């Protein structure tokens, strides 16, 4: 079975939150959508369980990594509206861990994975928390801008090839205009991604006080 490496688990922003309970992390995640550290801590806590389940069900390493990312993306969006306390009242055995396992099982059972050669996802290059928050930013972009960025980053197409494709689809656009679109798209990604996600995954520096700000957040976020 493949080995899962989680270098983000050693980042100070992640380690500083390791003492929080699942319920606290869930509440902080839901109350602070502009911060990615809480989802990242939950991911680090349960990634190995999810990865093990998937690797036992999917034999291709490439497909397993892709399904792993898709599963965490599903968890990411579903968890925004999850009320764990209500789930526990309805089912005495309900915990965040059990919920994540159940969601993972659903994703595994319902998955219709593409062939290996058509998968362009790389787990080391795009860990699921980073992938989820980048996807969130892309979802907010105007369609042409999003498509241009995706063609450049996913398929590694040149500006000329992107322009040719868009022209064939009815867009009057030149390679220079494609370059301008890409520059604008990258600026949006750079400025809209949560600062802590950029710090954890892209190596950007944050204020020294950032790792401990959870103490101040908790009083308002958990009441």
**102's torsion region: left (phi>0), alpha (psi -120 to 50) or beta?**
alpha
Per the domain annotation, does 198 fall within a domain? no
Per the domain annotation, does 132 fall within a domain? no
Say how far apart CA 214 and CA 103 lie, in whole Å: 28
Query: Where would I find the beta strands (DSSP E) of 81-180?
Result: none
pTM of the predicted model as reported, rounded to 2 decimal places = 0.85
Per the domain annotation, does 115 fall within a domain? yes
Place of tokens 């009083």: 219
**Would you state the pLDDT for residue 94?**
79
Identify whether the C-beta of residue 77 lies closer than 8 Å to the C-beta of residue 94: no
Domain count, the chain: 1
**What secondary structure letter does DSSP report for 117?**
G
Per the domain annotation, does 190 fall within a domain? no
Per the domain annotation, does 88 fall within a domain? yes
**Which domain covers residue 24, as residue numbers?**
7-119+208-221
Per the domain annotation, does 197 fall within a domain? no
Query: pLDDT per position in the chain (223 positions), as tens?
Result: 568 999 999 999 999 999 999 999 999 999 999 999 999 999 999 999 999 999 999 989 999 999 999 999 999 999 999 998 776 555 556 799 999 999 999 999 998 999 999 998 999 999 999 999 999 999 999 999 999 999 998 888 999 999 999 999 999 999 999 999 999 999 999 899 999 999 999 988 775 434 434 443 433 333 2
Per the domain annotation, does 84 fall within a domain? yes
pLDDT, one tens digit per residue, over 40-53 is: 999 999 999 999 99
Per the domain annotation, does 163 fall within a domain? no
**29's torsion region: left (phi>0), alpha (psi -120 to 50) or beta?**
alpha
* Phi, psi dihedral angles at 171 (to 5 degrees): -95, 125
């Amino acid at each position: 079975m493949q080995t899962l490496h989680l270098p983000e688990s050693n980042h100070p922003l992640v380690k500083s939150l390791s003492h929080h309970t699942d319920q606290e992390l869930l509440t902080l995640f839901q109350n602070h959508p502009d911060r990615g550290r809480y989802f990242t801590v939950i991911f680090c806590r349960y990634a190995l369980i999810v990865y093990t389940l998937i690797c036992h069900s999917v034999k291709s390493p490439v497909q397993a990594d892709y399904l792993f990312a898709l599963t965490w993306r599903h968890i990411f969006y579903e968890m925004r509206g999850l009320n764990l306390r209500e789930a526990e009242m309805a089912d005495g055995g309900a915990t965040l861990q059990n919920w994540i396992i159940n969601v993972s099982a659903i994703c595994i059972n319902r998955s219709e994975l593409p062939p290996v050669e058509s998968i362009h996802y790389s787990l080391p290059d795009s860990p699921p928390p980073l992938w989820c928050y980048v996807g969130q930013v892309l979802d907010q972009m105007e369609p042409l801008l999003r498509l241009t960025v995706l063609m450049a980053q996913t398929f590694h197409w040149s500006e000329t090839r992107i322009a040719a494709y868009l022209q064939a689809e009815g867009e009057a656009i030149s390679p220079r205009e494609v370059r301008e679109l890409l520059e604008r798209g990258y600026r949006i990604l750079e400025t809209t991604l949560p600062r802590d996600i950029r710090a954890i995954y892209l190596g950007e520096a944050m204020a020294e006080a950032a790792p401990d700000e959870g103490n101040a957040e908790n009083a308002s976020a958990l009441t």
